[in-house]
Amino acid sequence: MEVVIMAGPAEVGDFAAGRIAELVSTRPEAVLGVATGSSPLETYRSLAARRDAGLDLSRVSAFALDEYVGIRHDHPESYHAVIDREVVQPLGLDPARVHVPDGLADDLDAACEDYEAQIAAAGGVDLQLLGIGENGHIGFNEPTSSLSSRTRVKTLAPSTREANARFFDSAEEVPLHCLTQGLGTILDARRALLVAQGASKARAIAEIVEGPVSSRWPGSVLQLHRRATVVVDEAAASRLQLAEYYRYTVEHRRIVQPGA
């Protein structure tokens, strides 16, 4: 796992956006996994600025991680609406290439299977951008999610509903259920890029980076990924025991020369 510690939230977003821009420059039809929540907003902001400077994201496809069950797609806090507002519009993505699980489907299990099939049909995800919940969830894979889970219906933890109450008028209004890509689905992405900022994420970051791989802290599954990068600001890094080592490895990163 590559761990990168940046000064603050804006630098985290800029670093992550740089990785995405690099990918899209070499592969304009890249398939991105996109996340909601506040963590990736700086990344989207930096990507929007790069778009203004000429980066073309119009041929990129995107798959959202998750969606609430039972709220209309035009509800401002549905992830359909959030992805459209925070990602599709500012980055100039083609809406026809952007996919969000259907939390309004009559048959939710079939919708989950269909979502997996859509990802496979697109050739899989090249780079999955992730945030992390204070309880270590990625997507909506709450603690004790199966490490090889696929897209499915989950019940949101009470603490997640409370954390997301800020987007609604009250905690009761936050849906009880969601559809989320599974941890196994996320592991299938060719690269994983997790961003976290602020002291409230410091415990989760320490657990997933330096703790055991365990469904107790679902993000720890990224330790099993071949190309996972965790980008954090100083506050989110504050409980990492090996912070100096991560800084050292970034400073001495090997530049591989072709043919060397």
Among all residues, which ones are annotated catalytic?
66, 135, 137, 142
Query: Quick one: which of 130, 121, 126, 138 has its CA closest to 57?
Result: 126
Identity of the residue, 55 or 63, whose beta carbon is nearer to ligand GLP in the bound complex = 63
State which of positions 52-111 bind ligand GLP (CB under 6 A). Answer: 65-66
Burial, 238: exposed, middle or buried (Cβ in 10 Å; 0-12, 13-18, 19+)? middle
Of the residues 31, 34, 39, 185, which one makes contact with ligand GLP according to CB under 6 A = 39
Using CB under 6 A as the binding rule, whether residue 37 contacts ligand GLP is answered as: yes
Give the dihedral of Cα atoms 40, 137, 181, 74; nearest 10 deg. -60
Using CB under 6 A as the binding rule, whether residue 207 contacts ligand GLP is answered as: no
Using CB under 6 A as the binding rule, whether residue 36 contacts ligand GLP is answered as: yes
d(C-alpha 82, C-alpha 35), whole Å: 10
Are 167 and 146 in contact, with CB atoms under 8 Å apart?
no
Give me the residue label for tokens 């990507």. 47
Of the residues 101, 131, 136, 182, which one makes contact with ligand GLP according to CB under 6 A = 131
Beta strands in the chain (DSSP E): 2-6, 31-34, 61-64, 66-68, 98-99, 127-130, 152-155, 177-180, 191-196, 228-233
Identity of the residue, 55 or 193, whose beta carbon is nearer to ligand GLP in the bound complex = 193
d(C-alpha 1, C-alpha 7), whole Å: 20
Using CB under 6 A as the binding rule, whether residue 133 contacts ligand GLP is answered as: yes
Dihedral sign of CA atoms 226, 227, 228, 233 in order:
positive
Torsions phi, psi of 32, nearest 5? -105, 145
Q: Segment near ligand GLP (CB under 6 A), from 53-61, 133-141, 217-225, 232-240?
A: 133-141
Q: Segment near ligand GLP (CB under 6 A), from 8-16, 29-37, 53-61, 84-92?
A: 29-37
Identity of the residue, 111 or 174, whose beta carbon is nearer to ligand GLP in the bound complex = 174
Of the residues 35, 83, 111, 236, which one makes contact with ligand GLP according to CB under 6 A = 35
Query: Quick one: which of 190, 177, 181, 69 has its CA closest to 115?
Result: 181
CA-only gyration radius of the chain, Å: 17
Identity of the residue, 101 or 139, whose beta carbon is nearer to ligand GLP in the bound complex = 139
Closest distance of CB 198 from ligand GLP, Å: 8
Of the residues 9, 33, 103, 139, which one makes contact with ligand GLP according to CB under 6 A = 139
Closest distance of CB 30 from ligand GLP, Å: 20
Of the residues 61, 164, 220, 229, which one makes contact with ligand GLP according to CB under 6 A = 164
Closest distance of CB 186 from ligand GLP, Å: 10
Site size toward ligand GLP (CB under 6 A) is 14
Chain residues that interact with ligand GLP, rule: CB under 6 A: 35-39, 65-66, 131-133, 139-140, 160, 164
